[in-house]
């Protein structure tokens, strides 16, 4: 009996030490999981001894534990494929379909924006469109629907789809404000039978991207190649992002539409160092690596019309890159939630693309755009006071911002900021955006604007914030615009 206990203990110790013994011989978790691992913690921090050392060491050790990814993959296989249970931020749907767990918020409408916030999104996009149009370009907004919004029939039965959500409400608001946009939810649902999203990835496949590209170009009213006769093959070569979350050590491949398209030659203006082949660089941008794709510009000398594109995008923009590159003389692609409109050159088309689950980010902070000057507003009754703050933003000038009380309804109004200095009065239209991070507040109701340095504002100014037929007095500000970008 003692021998059996001894052997049992010995076996347990051996099993515990196997990962440590294998550490020098197995592939690192960083290579497999393609992420930066937790750094080794310091024994001391600015306050003296690091009281969180044990927790941080545990994270460091767990990240480097050999076979960790294989154990995670095995555990997730049991949960996902056998028990059909959510795991690793992934919802396991019907017939092998996977969804991001964050999609459930939009699906059941548990993350509903307030009416003020929906209106703020619409006004923000309308101001961007106005600026692009004044520069001689065309603008369109593209809200990419979550996969669950298109293929809702594959979501688990326990999730009940809401009749409306942020995407449908924002689309209605954009229609109301006459903001040019692509109703990509309708486009994708009308074409869903063609299999336009990956089963094991959160994004559309290349066929979905081609359909979306044509809808976007039609919205921009730009003549373009349609590639409607392009031949394709379906190859099981795509490793989905959701599949990687479940099986970091290796899982199941997904179908991908591979098109036989002879794109015209092009080059990158600011390609990554060491890359000589533009097509190889493009393949890297389109791959799951997503390395160096935050900001790059393509030049296509075969497109002779001098057309220019600026695309503010997220990961959905990967699959659509070659179509835009093939149709614009110059195309700049920037991965951001906060586009810089000031830097967009004259006669440049703009596509603002963002996925449904991130729509709230449009109004997280005001985009870089100088506030348009409006006609002065007279005979408005002052009924209260609001605070105003300012900050200098290097290269852009001055940002003015503040909070509005939650009961101030902006759903049928615009927000204006009036600055008066004696007899001189200038009125700007502000973004109806609350700079929550700058103000360190949970409020969602506010205003924000950038002042162009060319306006030459200097000295003490009285500030009024006008919403609809009501005005609110703010504190005096001393202004001196910084140099323009």
Helices 68-77 and 53-64, packing angle to 10 deg: 80
Helices 115-134 and 166-176, packing angle to 10 deg: 50
Q: What is the pLDDT of residues 352-402, one digit of tens each?
A: 999 999 999 999 999 999 999 999 988 888 888 888 888 888 778 899 999
pLDDT band at 193 (very low <50, low <70, confident <90, very high): very high
CA distance 159 to 154: 10
The average pLDDT across 451-464 equals: 86
Average pLDDT, the chain: 85
Structure token pair of residue 195: 């299999």
Region of poorest pLDDT, from 78-87, 93-102, 133-142: 78-87
Asked if residue 139 lies in contact with residue 128, where contact means CB atoms within 8 angstroms, the answer is: yes
pLDDT at res. 100: 92
Asked if residue 370 lies in contact with residue 452, where contact means CB atoms within 8 angstroms, the answer is: yes
Long-range contacts of 332-336 (CB under 8 A, 24+ apart): 332/295, 332/296, 332/297, 332/308, 333/293, 333/295, 333/296, 333/297, 333/298, 334/294, 334/295, 334/310, 335/293, 335/294, 335/295, 336/294, 336/312
CA distance 312 to 325: 14
Asked if residue 323 lies in contact with residue 303, where contact means CB atoms within 8 angstroms, the answer is: no
pLDDT at res. 36: 63
β-pairing, 308-313 with 295-299? unpaired
Q: What is the pLDDT of residues 102-153, one digit of tens each?
A: 999 999 999 999 999 999 999 999 999 999 999 999 999 999 999 999 999 9
β-pairing, 397-403 with 446-451? antiparallel
C-alpha angle with apex 91: 88 to 96, nearest 5 degrees?
110
Strand partners, 419: 426, 463
Strand partners, 412: none
pLDDT at res. 451: 92
Which of these, 231, 216, 229, lies nearest to 183 by C-alpha position? 216
CA distance 175 to 193: 27
Asked if residue 394 lies in contact with residue 431, where contact means CB atoms within 8 angstroms, the answer is: no
Structure token pair of residue 390: 């300012």
pLDDT band at 484 (very low <50, low <70, confident <90, very high): very low
**Domain extent listing, the chain:** 114-363, 373-480
CA distance 21 to 18: 5
Structure token pair of residue 326: 């093939």
CA distances (Å), 11 to each of 8, 16, 74, 386, 434, in order?
A: 5, 9, 22, 70, 60
CA distances (Å), 461 to each of 389, 418, 474, in order?
A: 13, 9, 10
Which of 16 and 350 is assigned the larger pLDDT? 350
Structure token pair of residue 34: 């393609």
Which of these, 40, 45, 46, 43, lies nearest to 59 by C-alpha position? 40
Asked if residue 268 lies in contact with residue 297, where contact means CB atoms within 8 angstroms, the answer is: yes
The average pLDDT across 411-420 equals: 93
- If you classify domain 373-480 with CATH, what class do you get? mainly beta
On the CB side of 54, CA atoms within 13 Å amount to: 1
Strand partners, 479: 459
Contacts of 396 (CB under 8 A, 6+ apart): 342, 368, 450, 482, 484, 485
Residue 3 has pLDDT above 80, yes or no: no
Strand partners, 258: 233
Q: pTM here?
A: 0.84
Q: Is residue 426 within a helix (H) or strand (E), and if so which, with residue range?
A: strand 424-430
SS3 track for 92-106: ECHHHCEEECCHHHH
Which of these, 159, 113, 178, lies nearest to 359 by C-alpha position? 113
Asked if residue 117 lies in contact with residue 444, where contact means CB atoms within 8 angstroms, the answer is: yes
**Helical H runs in 191-277?**
206-220, 241-246
Q: How many helices (H) and strands (E) does the chain have?
A: 14, 23
pLDDT band at 2 (very low <50, low <70, confident <90, very high): low
Distance of CA 380 to the CA centre of its chain: 39
Residue 22 has pLDDT above 60, yes or no: no
């Amino acid at each position: 009996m003692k021998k059996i206990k001894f052997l049992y203990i010995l076996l347990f110790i051996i099993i515990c030490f196997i990962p440590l013994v294998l550490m020098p011989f197995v592939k690192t978790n960083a290579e497999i999981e393609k992420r930066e691992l937790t750094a080794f913690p310091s024994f001391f921090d600015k306050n003296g001894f690091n009281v969180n050392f044990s927790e941080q060491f545990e994270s460091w050790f767990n990240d480097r534990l050999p076979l960790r990814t294989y154990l995670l993959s095995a555990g997730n296989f049991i949960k996902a494929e056998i028990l059909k249970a959510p795991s690793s931020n992934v919802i396991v749907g019907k017939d092998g379909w996977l969804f991001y767990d964050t999609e459930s918020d939009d699906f059941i409408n548990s993350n509903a924006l307030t009416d003020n916030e929906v209106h703020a999104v619409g006004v923000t996009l309308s101001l961007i469109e106005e600026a692009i149009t004044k520069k001689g370009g065309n603008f369109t907004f593209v809200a990419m629907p979550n996969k669950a919004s298109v293929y809702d029939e594959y979501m688990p039965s326990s999730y009940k789809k809401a009749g409306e959500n942020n995407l449908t409400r924002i689309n209605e608001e954009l229609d109301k404000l006459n903001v040019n946009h692509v109703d990509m939810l309708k486009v994708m649902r009308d074409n869903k039978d063609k299999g336009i999203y990956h089963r094991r990835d959160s994004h559309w496949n290349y066929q979905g991207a081609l359909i979306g590209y044509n809808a976007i170009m039609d919205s921009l009213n730009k003549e373009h190649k349609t590639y409607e006769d392009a031949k394709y093959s379906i190859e099981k070569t795509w490793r989905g992002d959701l599949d990687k979350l479940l099986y970091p050590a290796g899982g199941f491949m997904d179908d991908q539409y591979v098109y036989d398209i002879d794109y015209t030659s092009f080059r990158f203006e600011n390609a990554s160092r060491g890359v000589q082949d533009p097509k190889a660089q493009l393949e890297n941008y389109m791959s799951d690596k997503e390395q160096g794709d935050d900001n790059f510009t393509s030049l296509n000398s075969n497109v002779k019309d001098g057309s220019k594109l600026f695309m503010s995008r997220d990961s959905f923009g990967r699959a659509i890159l070659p179509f835009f590159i093939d149709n614009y003389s110059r195309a700049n692609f920037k991965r951001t939630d906060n586009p810089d409109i000031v830097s967009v050159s004259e006669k440049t088309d703009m596509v603002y693309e963002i996925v449904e689950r991130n729509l709230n980010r449009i109004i997280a902070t005001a985009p870089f755009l100088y506030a348009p000057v409006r006609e002065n507003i007279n005979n408005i009754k002052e009924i209260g006071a609001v605070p105003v703050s300012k900050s200098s933003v290097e290269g852009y000038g001055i940002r003015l911002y503040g909070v509005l009380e939650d009961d101030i309804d902006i759903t049928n109004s615009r927000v204006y900021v009036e600055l008066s200095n004696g007899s001189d009065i200038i009125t700007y239209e502000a973004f109806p955006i609350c700079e929550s991070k700058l103000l360190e507040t949970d409020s969602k109701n506010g205003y924000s604007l950038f002042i162009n340095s060319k306006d030459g504002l200097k000295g003490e100014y009285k500030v009024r914030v006008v919403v609809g037929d009501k005005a609110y007095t703010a504190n005096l500000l001393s202004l001196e615009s910084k140099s323009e970008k």
